[in-house]
Amino acid sequence: MYNPRFEKKAFKKEVEHNVKTLYRKTIDEATPQQLFQAVSYAVKEVIIDDWIATQDQFKKDDPKTVYYMSMEFLMGRALGNNLINMTAYREVKEALDEMGIDLNAIEDQEPDPALGNGGLGRLAACFLDSLATLGYAAYGCGIRYRYGMFKQKIENGYQVETPDDWLKEGNPFELRREEYAKEVRFGGNIRVEYDDATNRTKFVQENYESVLAIPYDMPVVGYGNHHVNTLRIWDAQAITNFQLDSFDRGDYHKAVEQENLAKTIVEVLYPNDNHYAGKELRLKQQYFFVSASIQAAISKYKKSHDDLHKLPEKVVFQMNDTHPTVAVAELMRILLDEEGLGWNEAWDITTHCCAYTNHTIMAEALEKWPIDLFSKLLPRVYQIIQEIDRRFLIQVREMYPGNEEKVRKMAILYNGQVRMAHLAIVAGFSVNGVARLHTEILKHQELKDFYEMMPEKFNNKTNGITQRRFLMHGNPLLADWVTEKLGTKNWITDLSLMSGLKKYADDPKALAEFMDIKYRNKERLAAYILKHNGIEVDPRSIFDVQVKRLHEYKRQLLNILHVMYLYNQIKEHPEMSFYPRTFIFGAKASAGYIRAKEIIKLINSVGDVVNNDRSINGKLKVVFIEDYRVSNAEIIFAAADVSEQISTASKEASGTGNMKFMLNGAPTLGTMDGANVEIVEEVGAENAFIFGLSSEEVINYENYGGYHPQDIYHNDQDIHKVVDQLVDGTYSNGDTEMYRDLYNSLLTNQGGSRADMYFILKDFRSYAEAQKKVEEAYKDTEGWAKKALLNTACCGKFTSDRTIQEYVDDIWHLDKIKVEVETEEE
C-alpha cells in the first residue's frame, strides 16, 4: 500500500531538517540515537494529521467511548509499529537505505517502553492496537511511570535489577498536555455541612494533601485506516502556589510534603506479576490515575452533553483487574459531591458505566486493602464504599434470609479489609474472565456466590494478541510468505483468513518454504544468543522455548528439572539416540520473590554445566536470555519450534505468549490450562503435546488432599536422582545448601504451604513422555512441518481484533468511526 505522505524525497528532507534543527548536525554527523529521534519526529508529523482528523471525527459523530483503565500498558517500541500501522514501513525503510541509514538499527535505538509487568500489561497494549484498527473511540488511561519494569542483568547466574530510565533521551511520540491537568486529593478529614440553599448535606474534604496530575498523550495508530486513538498516561507534579486551603497558606511543611508525594507517586512500576504487595504507595498510584482519568472523562462528556444521567450512553470504563476498581467509588463521589446527584441516580449511572475483567485466581494476587490504611488515605471514597456495602448486604439478606455465612463471604468490607474484587463485581455491570476455562472456574469456584446471585453479569472474553506486531513486525519473512500464499494482505486485519493456509498442509514445497523461514529465524536468534550470551547454539537443534514471567505456578522448575533428567540420560546412555535440543528460557522474577530468583540461578547453573560438558557433543544446550521484554520477544517467538505452556492446570488464567508462539508456527507443549484448551481445540490434539493433571484433578487435590510427593520421590529412581542433585552439589560446585529451599519446597510441607504445591513431581513423568513425543515428532521432518504450519493456519481465533469485537458486542456497545482524510491518490 502506497502512502503518499511518506513520499521518499519529502521524507528524506524532513529527516535531514530534523537532524539540523534538533542537533545542528548533518545526517553523517548524527549519532544513531539522534537519527532515531529525527526519524521519529518525521513520522510523528504524519501521525499528528491523522490524530487531529480522528479527534475531529469524534466531535462530529459523538461516538460512545471506552476508557480502558489499567495500571499497566506494556507498549513495546513505537517507531516500527507505527510505521507498520501507517502502511509506510517499506517506503521508509527504502528512503532511509538510500540515505545510508539502516531502519533496524534505528529501531534498536528506541528504549523499549515497559510500563507493565507481563501478560496483563501487554494485553492492554494489544487491545489499544485493535481498538484503533477496528475504528472505535478509545482511551487507554494509565500512569507515566518515571521508571518502568526494571532491566534484568544476569551476574554470576543471579538476577540483578537496574532501573529502566526509559525517558532519559526524551520520548519523541508523547505530547505533554498541561492544560488538561487535574487535581487529586489524599487524606485529611471530611466535614459534613448542611447547605440551606440546596437542602443537601455536603461533604467537604479538608486538611488534605494534593497533587496535580498532568496528562501525556501517546498516539495509538490503527492499521491502514487513519484512525489514531490516545493513550493518556499521567505524570504528577506538586501544587505549590495555589489551592492550599486558606489556613494552610504559607505552610512550608505541607508544601514540602506535597512535593515529595508528587515525586514518589509516579516514580516506579511495582514489578509484581500475579502478586499483591499491599503497599500504601501502590494505593496512592491507583487513586491518582483513576481520579484524574475519571475527572477528565466527565469534563470531556460535559463539554458536549448536559445530562449526566445519559453518561452510560457515551462512556464505559473497563477496569483491567481490580487495580483501578476505586474508580467506581470515585465516580460516585464526583456524581454525588461535585455534581449534586442523589445516591440512586449516581448509583444507576455508575453501575451502567463500569465493567471489570478478572485476570487471575491466584489467592496471593487478590487485592484486600486494610481498612485503616484505606480510610485514612481516601476518607470520602471510603465512606462511599461503606454505603455501597451496606446497601449490597441488605440485598444479600433479602435474597438469602438468615444466611449470615453468605453475608460474610460476599461482603465488600470484612475482617478489617476492603475486598476490591467484591466492590468491582457489585458496582460493575459486567464481570469477565480471560479464557473459557478461567471463566468457568470463576463462575463455579472462586466467584460462585456472586455468580449465583447475579449470573447475568458474568461472561467470557478469551484473550488475543495483535498480528501486526507479532507477525508483521516480528516475523516479516513469514508475514510475506503468508501474504503470497493467501494471495491477499487482508489477514492483517482479518486473521480468520489464515485458515486458507490449511490447504498447504500436505504440499511438500510449501512445507519446505515454511520450515526454511523458521530456519532463518532460528539463525537470527542464534546470532542474538551468540552476541548476548556468548553461547553457540545450532539452528538445526530443536528450539524449545519458555519465555514468560518467573512464577512457581508457571513451573519453569519442571522444565529445568526435566533438562537435568535428560542430561542424566545422555550421560548414562551415551549411545542412545537423542535429537539435539536447545532449551531457551527468558524470565524476570519480581525483585522480592526469593524462590523465583533461586530458579533463575538454577537454570543458569544447569546451563553452565551442560553447555560446557564436551562429552555430550553439544546435544543439549541451555540458554537464559537476559532481560526478556517485548523487543526481544518478537525475535524469540519467530524462532521457536516448541512452545512451553506448562502451568499447573487451573492457575494460568489465559496466557497470551501461547498465542504468539502458535501464530509463528510453534506447536504447544502444555497442560490443559488457560487458553491452551482453546488452542488445542482450534489446531487439533494431534498438533499439540498435552500432558499433566486436569484443572479438576488439581482442584480436587487442593480441596481434599491426597497428593504426597514423597511417594513419587521414593518410587521413581530418575526423579529421585534429579531431586537429589539439587542438594548434592552437582550444579553448585559442591555447595549442598544453594538449592536446599527448592529441594524442600518439593518434598516438605512448610508452614502454610504444602509440599510441591504446584504438582511438579506429579506431572513430571507425563511431561517427560510428552517431551519424548516431541522428539519423535520432530525427527519426522515433513510431519513436523505440517504440525507447525497448521498452528499458524489455525490461529485465527487468537487475534485481539476478535477479542475486542466481542467486548464491543457484549459489553461496550461502541459505535464504529470512519476517519475521513484527504490523500492525493496516485
Q: Which residues are catalytic?
A: 359, 548-549, 554, 656, 660
Contact pick of 140, 324, 655, 796 for ligand Z2T (by CB under 6 A): 655
Other C-beta atoms lying within 10 Å of the C-beta of residue 71:
26
From residue 338 to residue 377, the character string flagging contacts with ligand Z2T as x (rule: CB under 6 A) and all else as - is ---------------------xx----x------------
For residue 585, count CB atoms less than 10 angstroms from its CB and return exposed for 0-12, middle for 13-18, buried for 19 or more: buried
Contact pick of 610, 653, 679, 760 for ligand Z2T (by CB under 6 A): 653
Which string of DSSP letters, residue by residue, matches 392-441? HHHHHHHHSTT-HHHHHHH-SEETTEEEHHHHHHHH-SEEEESSHHHHHH
List, in sequence order, every residue forming a beta bridge with 413; answer none if it has no partner: 418
- What are the start-end ranges of the H helices in 210-319? 252-265, 280-304, 311-314
CA atoms of 255 and 5, how far apart (whole Å): 49
Contact pick of 119, 172, 379, 586 for ligand Z2T (by CB under 6 A): 119
Output phi, psi for 244, to 5 deg. -75, 145
Contact positions with ligand Z2T (CB under 6 A) in 268-307:
273-274
262 touches ligand Z2T by CB under 6 A: no
- DSSP secondary structure code for residue 809 in this structure: I
Contact pick of 107, 644, 652, 678 for ligand Z2T (by CB under 6 A): 652
Q: How far is the CB of 205 from ligand Z2T (least distance, A)?
A: 30
Q: List C-alpha distances in Å: 129 to 36, 312, 322.
A: 22, 24, 22
Q: Which is nearer to ligand Z2T, 14 or 652 (CB)?
A: 652
Closest CA to 203 of 423, 385, 384, 391: 384
Output phi, psi for 779, to 5 deg. -65, -30
CA torsion sign, 775 to 780 to 784 to 787?
A: negative
Q: How far is the CB of 712 from ligand Z2T (least distance, A)?
A: 27
Grid coordinates belonging to 673: 490450562
Q: Which is nearer to ligand Z2T, 368 or 786 (CB)?
A: 368
Contact positions with ligand Z2T (CB under 6 A) in 692-711:
none
With contacts defined by CB under 6 A, name the span among 118-126, 292-300, 516-524, 626-634 that binds ligand Z2T: 118-126
Residue type, 17: H
Q: How far is the CB of 64 from ligand Z2T (least distance, A)?
A: 24
Q: How far is the CB of 506 from ligand Z2T (least distance, A)?
A: 33
Other C-beta atoms lying within 10 Å of the C-beta of residue 98:
11
Q: Which is nearer to ligand Z2T, 123 or 265 (CB)?
A: 123
Q: Which is nearer to ligand Z2T, 359 or 485 (CB)?
A: 359
CA torsion sign, 411 to 369 to 320 to 316?
A: positive
For residue 16, count CB atoms less than 10 angstroms from its CB and return exposed for 0-12, middle for 13-18, buried for 19 or more: middle
Q: How far is the CB of 12 from ligand Z2T (least distance, A)?
A: 41
Q: Which is nearer to ligand Z2T, 364 or 404 (CB)?
A: 364
Instruction: Quote the crossing angle between the two packed helices 594-611 and 740-747, to the nearest 10°.
Output: 110
CA atoms of 679 and 685, how far apart (whole Å): 9
Q: What angle (nearest 5°) sits at the alpha carbon of residue 26, between those of residues 23 and 27? A: 105
Q: Which is nearer to ligand Z2T, 321 or 389 (CB)?
A: 321
Q: Regarding beta strands 175-176 and 209-221, do their DSSP bridges make them parallel or antiparallel, or are they unpaired?
A: antiparallel
With contacts defined by CB under 6 A, name the span among 51-59, 111-119, 193-201, 205-213 that binds ligand Z2T: 111-119
Contact pick of 120, 479, 638, 640 for ligand Z2T (by CB under 6 A): 120
Q: Which is nearer to ligand Z2T, 325 or 687 (CB)?
A: 325
Locate cell 548524527: which residue?
30
Buried b (16+ CB within 10 A) or exposed e, 660-698: bbbbbbbbbbbbbbbbbbbbbebbeeebbbbbbbebebb
Q: How far is the CB of 719 from ligand Z2T (least distance, A)?
A: 28
With contacts defined by CB under 6 A, name the span among 9-17, 193-201, 283-291, 647-655 that binds ligand Z2T: 647-655
Contact pick of 79, 96, 123, 388 for ligand Z2T (by CB under 6 A): 123
556 touches ligand Z2T by CB under 6 A: no
N-to-C CA span, the chain:
11
CA atoms of 712 and 371, how far apart (whole Å): 45
Count residues contacting ligand Z2T (CB under 6 A)?
19
Residues 6 or more apart in contact with residue 256 via CB below 8 angstroms: none
Q: Which is nearer to ligand Z2T, 14 or 72 (CB)?
A: 72
656 touches ligand Z2T by CB under 6 A: yes
Q: Which is nearer to ligand Z2T, 75 or 722 (CB)?
A: 75
Q: Which is nearer to ligand Z2T, 197 or 363 (CB)?
A: 363
Q: How far is the CB of 334 from ligand Z2T (least distance, A)?
A: 26
Contact positions with ligand Z2T (CB under 6 A) in 661-680:
674
CA atoms of 66 and 170, how far apart (whole Å): 29
Contact pick of 76, 80, 111, 118 for ligand Z2T (by CB under 6 A): 118
Q: How far is the CB of 738 from ligand Z2T (least distance, A)?
A: 29
With contacts defined by CB under 6 A, name the span among 205-213, 589-597, 646-654, 659-667 that binds ligand Z2T: 646-654
Task: Give residue number: closest CB to ligand Z2T.
Answer: 119
With contacts defined by CB under 6 A, name the span among 47-55, 406-414, 650-658, 807-815 that binds ligand Z2T: 650-658
Contact pick of 54, 117, 285, 293 for ligand Z2T (by CB under 6 A): 117
Long-range contacts at 747-751 (CB < 8 A, ≥ 24 apart): 747/709, 747/710, 747/713, 747/723
Q: How far is the CB of 676 from ligand Z2T (least distance, A)?
A: 10
With contacts defined by CB under 6 A, name the span among 230-238, 394-402, 649-657, 737-745 that binds ligand Z2T: 649-657
CA torsion sign, 502 to 503 to 509 to 510?
A: negative
Locate cell 545542528: which residue?
24
Contact pick of 225, 559, 582, 654 for ligand Z2T (by CB under 6 A): 654
Contact positions with ligand Z2T (CB under 6 A) in 575-634:
none
Output phi, psi for 236, to 5 deg. -110, 145
Q: How far is the CB of 118 from ligand Z2T (least distance, A)?
A: 4
Q: List C-alpha distances in Å: 13 to 49, 147, 706, 768.
A: 18, 35, 72, 59
With contacts defined by CB under 6 A, name the span among 115-123, 261-269, 311-319, 806-814 that binds ligand Z2T: 115-123
Q: Which is nearer to ligand Z2T, 74 or 262 (CB)?
A: 74
SS (H, E, C) 95-108: HHHHCCCCHHHHHC
CA torsion sign, 50 to 55 to 58 to 64?
A: positive
Q: Which is nearer to ligand Z2T, 40 or 656 (CB)?
A: 656
Q: How far is the CB of 384 from ligand Z2T (least distance, A)?
A: 24
Contact positions with ligand Z2T (CB under 6 A) in 412-471:
434, 463
Residues in contact with ligand Z2T by CB under 6 A are: 117-120, 123, 273-274, 321, 359-360, 365, 434, 463, 652-656, 674
